[in-house]
Amino acid sequence: MLLTTVAVVLTCAALVIGVALGLQRFGNELSKISTNQGVQNSQITALSTKLDEVSTKVATGGTGTTTAPAAKVTVDINAIKGLFTKDNITMGNANSKVLFVEVSDPSCPYCHIAAGKNPELGKQSGDKFTYDTDGGTYQSPVREMRKLVESGKAAMVTLYSNGHGAGEIAMQALYCANEKGKYWDVHDLLYSNAGYTIINQTVKNDVTKSPELASFLASAVDSNFMKDCLTTGKYKDKLAKDIATSQSLGVQGTPGFFVNTTNFAGAYSYADMKSAVDTAMK
């Protein structure tokens, strides 16, 4: 037993040291490039991005995007119920026994995986995130929450947080779509692999790219309405309110979920949340 314990400790220590050395190696490489007079800015940007990605995976266990740690927040059920207002994107009866909260960023890769509409990204992220519908074991929490909401057994609210940095226009598009009762239609397009590409490579946070996004979403919402809604910034200020609300709940990254007051920070499989749902339903 003692030998086994020592082996486990040594293994964990080796992993920590390996990660630390990896971060140091990226930092040293970035430093060398920065001092090279003929370096291209794109090289610095690429290495900085890679360093950020490694740091993020260390901080979150590889399940989401995080910000600096903050004091743990205790959330009561009244705070969760208070989210179900006309100003937020809500679905279902707020008096349900089960209340879901999703904090997401449409540009965030793990948010896409959790949404259940991007099997390509799930596979690319490893066996842990390969969908159960694709031969894997990962159960999309958003997919299962949606089923419970549509069956009348739960209610759900969706909030934005700047987890990955390029999803502001896309999130505004979700608010615009919700205004027309087309939230899920637009959600499914934005959280597809094609949606991930257009959000992160074309639109980003550039409002002048609104016509391209409106065209992409035309099968779900009238493109002229969507273009006008985005270019006028109708819901732009709402994003800052969402971020503040998310922080008040203690959410420090994306995706983040609540099942009533139980917090699941990261792209958890629904299988990990089910016991909390079952308890809430009793």
pTM greater than 0.85 (yes/no) = no
Q: Are residues 103 and 225 in the same domain?
A: yes
In a shared domain, residues 17 and 81: no
> Has residue 70 been placed in a domain?
no
- Please tell me whether residues 37 and 8 are part of one structural domain: yes
Same domain, 271 and 210: yes
> What is the pLDDT, as a whole number, of residue 7?
40
Q: Structural domain of residue 12, as residue ranges? A: 2-60
One domain for residues 94 and 234: yes
Residue listed under structure tokens 């089910």:
274
Q: d(Cα 118, Cα 134) in Å, to the nearest integer?
A: 11
* Tens digit of each residue's pLDDT, the chain (282 residues): 433 443 433 334 433 334 443 444 444 443 443 434 433 443 433 433 343 343 334 333 456 665 444 457 899 999 999 999 999 999 999 999 999 999 999 999 999 999 999 999 999 999 999 999 999 999 999 999 999 999 999 999 999 999 899 999 999 999 999 999 999 999 999 999 999 999 999 999 999 999 999 999 999 999 999 999 999 999 999 999 999 999 999 999 999 999 999 999 999 999 999 999 999 999
The rounded distance, in Å, linking the Cα atoms of 102 and 217 is 22
Has residue 116 been placed in a domain?
A: yes
Instruction: Classify residue 66: in a domain, yes or no.
Output: no
Contact status, residue 250 vs residue 262, Cβ threshold 8 Å: no
Residues 36 and 135 in one domain: no
Quick one: pLDDT at residue 113?
Answer: 98
Looking at the structure, do residues 48 and 188 belong to the same domain, yes or no? no
In 3D, which of 127, 96, 93 has the Cα closest to residue 113? Answer: 127
Same domain, 40 and 109: no
For residues 243 and 138, membership in a common domain is answered with yes
Claim to verify: residue 81 and residue 49 sit in the same structural domain: no
Six token digits for residue 166: 């390029």
Whether 7 is covered by a domain: the verdict is: yes
**In the chain, how many domains are there?**
2
86 shares a domain with 25: no
- For residue 94, the domain's CATH number is 3.40.30.10
Phi and psi of 98, rounded to 5°?
-110, 120
Whole-angstrom Cα distance, residue 246 to residue 240? 10
| Residue 12 falls inside a structural domain | yes
Residue 120 falls inside a structural domain: yes
Q: Which residues contact 10 (CB under 8 A, 6 or more apart)?
A: none
Q: State residue 278 phi and psi, 5-degree precision.
A: -60, -40
Q: Are residues 186 and 262 in the same domain?
A: yes
Looking at residue 11, its amino acid is T
**Strand segments (E) across the chain:** 65-66, 89-91, 98-104, 154-160, 253-254, 256-259, 262-265
Specify the pairing of strand 98-104 against strand 154-160: parallel
Among the three residues 60, 87, 103, which one is the final residue of a domain in this structure?
A: 60
